[in-house]
Structure 1
C-alpha cells in the first residue's frame, strides 16, 4: 500500500516545505523551487505550477545551491530588500518601522561572540537529540507493528 507524502498536522520535518501546501495547512516536502514565484514546490504542486507558468525556470534538488538563502534578503511582508532590524518587533524588515538598527552595525563583531563560537556544538547536540528521538520512534513503530 502506497503512503502519501502530504501530512496534515504532521510532525514530519523537512529541509524545505512546499509553500503552496503550507498555505493550506499541509506539510509536504519541497523538491522544486521557482525563483520567479518565490515558491518552494512539492512534486504535486510543481506539476500544477508548470501548467500555469510554463515559461518559469524551476530548479530541482540537483540545483539546490540556487535555493539556499533566496528569501534571506527580502522582507516577508513587503518584498523589499532587507536593510534593518526592528528593535520593537525583534525582526528583520525594510525600514517600515520606527525603531530600527542598521544590519551591518548589528552584525559587527558577531563572529567573535560566544553565541557564535558555541553554535557548532549546539547544532551537534541537537542533531544527537533528534537522532535519539528518531530511533525511539522507530522502535515504537516496530513494537506497534509486532503488537498487531
Structure 2
C-alpha cells in the first residue's frame, strides 16, 4: 500500500507554487502566497501583504489554514508580467499568454484558448468505434543479433512526426512517422523498467514501479519522484501536477512535481482505476475498470465532477483513455474489445 508521498529531487529548478503571490507575479517574481484578500481577490506573500495592508486595512484577509476557500487566481506569464496564461499550444505542449502566442508561436498550428471553468457532463455523448487493426506499418521490436522481442508498453507523441515507446527491456525507442510508416530513429537506454512514458515541454516522464523519473530528450535525468502504487499517470498541461491511478486501493493520487502529495480521491465510482488523461484545458478523465465508467475529476484532484460515460455508452472494462484535441473526443481502449471506443463530448 502507498504509505504517503516522498521525493528525491535533482536539479529541481524554479519552484512551481500551488498558491503563487499575485503581486510578485505581476513584477516577474516568484513567491509563495500565504494570505488571500477576499475583496481584492488576490494572493499575497508575507512581504506583499504588508504593503497591501498599508492601503487597505479593512479588507478581509485569510491565511493558509483556510486556503481551500481561496478563490481561483489565474497564473501569469513570467516573460510578460501581468498577462494571464490563457493559451495552450499543443505543438509545444505548454501554456502561454497572448503576447507569447504572437511572438513565439506564430507558426504553431494547434492553439487553443483555455477556460478556467470545467463543463458539467454533456447532455449527450456521441459514440463511435474505430478498428485498431487498420492498415499501418509494422516494425518488429527486436534487438540486433537477438531474437528476443522488446515488448512495447506505452506510446506517446513527442512531436508531429515522432513517437516514443516504452519497452520491457529498460529502454525508450524513438520512431519517426511518415505516411503511416515507422522508421527507427534512436534508442534511449535506462537503468530501470519503463512501464509508462509521457511527454511534456521537451521532457520525458517515465514510470517504473513506484517511481516517476523526469528526463530530457537526450536522457539526462532531471529528478525522480517516488512513493506510490501506480497503474498509470498523467501530467497537467502546465507541467506542475501529476495524476496517479492507484488500482489496488481504488484511488486517484495527485502530487506536485516535487513528489509532494496534494490530494487523495477515493470515490464509489472510481473502482479499479486504470487509465488517466488530461485535456489541454486541464480536464481530468479517469477510467473505472470495475464498473465500466469514465469519470471527470476537478483539476486539483479532490472532487468527482461527473460520470462522462457508463456501460450504457458501451464502456465495459476501460484500460486507457486519451483526449483528442482535434475532435474533442475521448478515445477509450478496453480489455475485452478489439475496437477503440470513441466518445465525442458535446
- Give TM-score scaled by structure 1 length: 0.48
Structure having the larger proportion of residues in strand? 2
TM-score by length of 2: 0.22
Q: Point out the structure with max Rg over C-alpha.
A: 2
Greater RCO, CA 8 A, separation 6+: 2
